[in-house]
Every structure is written in C-alpha cells, then in structure tokens.
Amino acid sequence: MRRVIFNQKGGVGKSTITCNLAAISAVEGKKTLVIDLDIQGNSTQYLLGHKITDPDKTIAHFFKDCLGISLFGGGKEGIASAIHETPFPNLFVLPSHPELEALQSRLDSRYKIFKLKEELEKLEGFDAVYIDTPPILNFYSQSALIAAERCLIPFDCDTFARDSLYTLMKSIAEVKADHNENLEIEGIVVNQYQKQANLPKQLVEELIAEGLPVLENKISPSVKVRESHSASQPLVHHAPTHKLTDEYRALYVEIN
C-alpha cells in the first residue's frame, strides 16, 4: 500500500503523522519505506537524526536523472540506491534535499509528473510506502498523489484549516480524475485534538455532519511529540507505553 500524507496548510503535523504511522508499520513486521518530498526534510531528520548533505544520496538524485542531467543519465539507477536504513528494524527512508526546489520548474515543464509513480511500481521488497509532502500543491505533492493509492489529510482543529478543507479535497479529486483513478481519500486525521475544549469538538462535529471522512481515532497534543523529534525516535520507540503512542496505534489499526 502506498499512502500520501498531504495538506496544503503547513504546521498540521504531516511529517509527524507520516513517520509515526510508518514506524508502527515497521514494528508490525512490514518492510516500510518513508519518502520525504518536503525540502525542509523533517521526516528525514526525524528518522535518521540528521539531514543528508549529498544530493546524490537523496531523492534529488532520482529527479536529476529524470532530467538527464545526472552523470549517470536517464534515471537508470532509480531510487533504490538512495534509500537509507534507519536505526529501527524494517524502517527505511528516501531522504529529501534542498536541491529539489531548484529542480522543480524543469521537472514540471518537461512533464515528469508520472516518474515517481512509474518508479514505485517497479520498486520491489517493500510492504508499505508512506509519502511526506510539501505543504503546497506543487510538482512534488502532485507526483505523490499520482503515485499513491490512499491519501490521509491531517487536520489541526483550526478554523482556517477547516475553511481550506474543501479546496484541498477538490484538488485531490482533480488529481484523481485527471491522473490517478485509483487514488482514494482514506480519511481526515484530526491532530492536536483537545476533547475537553469546545472549538475542536465543534469543528469535528461540523466536519462529520457535512459528510467528510473524519477518522474515528484522533491524536492529542503532547510534549512527547517534541521530545521524540529531539531524540529522533518515533513514539513507538521513544515512549512505547505513552497514551499518544496508543492513539497512533489505534489510528494505524483503523486504516489497515
């Protein structure tokens, strides 16, 4: 299964959700790959403890090859050579790199939008793929939506985030109609949910009443998330018995 975690709003927890669900997948015995398409490289740093400085050891190398500007040319190496083992069994990452930003306009103008999908369909040995995206509908997020089978939408219980949900879902529907008929919105992941506060409850109830696919299991705010970021350890490894870890486990079960 290939999943993309996408929202056009920043700060909604895309990277955290991506890495924690992927880490649980790996603990469950599935060989799991995280693809980091956000130039900020948060998923890369979360899983490896550092960013990768050499672009040829990141997904930037694959996209350079797609343009034929790599020394190797033509994309013949594919993405496998840039996949890194993480310190956690069964969990691998294909790192991001800032060079992606400079490549974007050339990739877009030469219509390389299907290259990631084609490459992932050839990739063998992985049971699950989770794709982290930039917080904007650009070449890389569109490539991820085209390559994926399921889409998770993080929602952070904010009025502005609610107002943008319909635009976001329309964008996903357009990608599905034009490029990827197999893409399905798996659900809206309610993040930073304070069940005792009135506004989050009201916003979630409104989304459900409007028929949006809100997932039952929600993620609470906790300082443990920042601690796990600092330790470069997903919660299932950093705090395996914590309430927040249990929430991620329940979310993982719900979507699998």
- Report d(CA 245, CA 228) in Å as an integer: 11
Reply yes or no on whether the pLDDT at 112 is more than 90. Answer: yes
pLDDT of 76 reads 58
What is the arithmetic mean of pLDDT over 116-141? 96
Q: For the whole model, what pTM was predicted?
A: 0.94
Per-residue pLDDT tens over the stretch 61-75: 999 999 985 444 444
What does the pLDDT read at residue 9? Answer: 80
User: What are 32-71's pLDDT values in tens digits?
Assistant: 999 999 999 999 999 999 999 999 999 999 999 999 854 4
What element of type H or E holds 38? none
User: What is the tens place of the pLDDT at every residue in 141-182?
Assistant: 999 999 999 999 999 877 777 778 888 999 999 999 999 999
Tell me, what's the pLDDT at 197? Answer: 85
Give the pLDDT confidence score for residue 70 in this predicted structure. 45
Domains of the chain: 2-255 (3.40.50.300)
pLDDT of residue 69: 52
Q: Is 254 helix (H, G, I), strand (E, B) or coil?
A: helix
Query: Edge to edge, what strands does the sheet with 91-94 contain?
Result: 84-85, 91-94, 32-36, 128-132, 2-5, 150-155, 184-190
Q: What is the mean pLDDT of residues 96-102?
A: 96
Spatial contact of 78 and 62, defined as CB atoms under 8 Å apart = yes
pLDDT at position 73 is 43
Provide the 10 A C-beta neighbour count for residue 220.
Answer: 15
Distances (CA, A) of 160 to 130, 205, 238: 26, 16, 32
The model's pLDDT over 196-238, given as tens digits with 9 standing for 90+, comes to 888 888 889 999 999 999 999 999 999 999 999 999 999 999 9
Q: Cα–Cα distance between 235 and 233 in angstroms, integer?
A: 6
pLDDT of residue 97: 97
